[in-house]
Amino acid sequence: MAIEFTPTPEQVDLRDMARSFAERVLRPLASDLEKLTDPWECFQRTRPAFAEMAKAGFTAGFIPTEYGGAGFGCIEFALAAEELTRVEVGVPTTLLGHGLALQPVIQFGTPEQKERFLRPFTEDATGDRLACFAFTEASGGANFDSDDPEAGVVTYAQRDGDYYVINGTKHFATNGSGWDRKGAHLYTVTVRTDRNAGAKEGLSVIVVPGDTPGIRVGRIEDKVGHRLTVQPEVVFENVRVPVANLLGSEGDGIPIIVGAFNWTAALIGAACVGTARTAFDYALEFAKSGKRLGSVPIIYHQAVGYALADIKMRIEACRYLTWRACAYLDSHADGRAEVANIAKVYCSEQAVKCVYDAMQIVGVESYTKDHPLERLLRDALVFPLYDGGNMGVRRRQLHGILCSPGYDSGLIAEDRELPFSKDMSGTLGLRHSAQNEIPGPAR
């Protein structure tokens, strides 16, 4: 029996709907809003497009059906994401940040918490409500899982009876401003609930409604690319929320964080494919028509033809790796971090190379402002840097998995799980490898 890579008729319909939506709604935004200099104005002008996205069902598509969503799997979202990001990456990134914020509730919330926190988003057909995963600290997020109580997350949640009191500042909090700059509708906040413990015992995730007193939106980042998304600073000053808003138990932060970022890791692969695909299509058409003072179009020159072939090979490899990661997430309850991280790291770095190589085919004019490849390069450059930077977080997580007892290289190919544990995070696995003999693979 063959390993199947053929989308179902329903998946094809979703892909085609996303393709049509991108051309109709996102295409007009792609170049016009790029010319705006104010990052807040850029984001504000995308609101009608996000409303159309909500009307089409994208904003609640990933929420389980029992809470009013469409229950799309990761693979369905990837098919749609490639088509959306092929045209414009900003509005789909707002959607991705929205989904990232709700994943902790979807994956780790109790039925009561899911009903209370997810239902308002499935009832929102206008896209007015935005969710934000308030994760990154003002000084960065790479060492969030440090064993040192003096390092890592410094947003604290102090228990006060039946409430937590949260104080701290988050940075690059996608969607954290909401549409009115007064805050998102909902935050899932990474906090330290034990000041004297390292991340494995001290980190937690708490759901904070956006209208809770004490939340303040600070500066809006002015970025090189992804101009149509918003990444503000969000300040929490004596924000009181019920203990009932804690996801899981105190100290469960690392599995919750990793679970949420596994979801986005696989889907970022699709965004990378969409971006690289647009660069390839432009370079291909250019090569078929441009002679560059020669007698024939440059596609007939071997160097150009080989370069295009290399770009296309990378795109196909990234697409199938993305599909594998998404299918793995949809079919496994655990052991998903390895394939998700591999997809994010590999596809993000290949996307940058694909766009740059397309620029080399076109030449120096692709480096001018308002050229489509120049915009694509600015958008692609952030893929390896955000959502858990490839060097700061993703490769380190893969390193921890490789160091864990029971790991073997056939896990993904043989569709087996290696359950995630906190020991795979931070530096604990590295200490084990230095001090103890690691057992061989468990089969």
Just list the catalytic residues. Answer: 387
**What are φ and ψ of residue 230, in 5° steps?**
-125, 130
Q: How many CB atoms lie within 10 A of CB 64?
A: 14
For residue 349, give the nearest of 323, 374, 317 by alpha carbon: 317
Read out DSSP for 267-306?
Answer: HHHHHHHHHHHHHHHHHHHHHHH--TTSSS-GGGSHHHHH
- Structure-token pair, residue 67: 């809470």
Read out DSSP for 345-396?
Answer: HHHHHHHHHHHHHHHHHH-GGGGSTT-HHHHHHHHHTTTTTSSS-IIIIIHH
CB 336 within 8 A of CB 262: yes
For residue 376, give the nearest of 357, 390, 391 by alpha carbon: 357
Q: ∠ CA(101), CA(10), CA(102), 5° rounding?
A: 5
Q: What Cα–Cα distance (Å) separates residue 83 from each residue in 115, 309, 403, 433?
A: 31, 21, 37, 43
Indicate the SS3 state at residue 90: helix
Which residues are within 8 A (CB) of 22 and not within 5 positions of it... i.e. 6 or more apart? 83, 84, 86, 87, 88
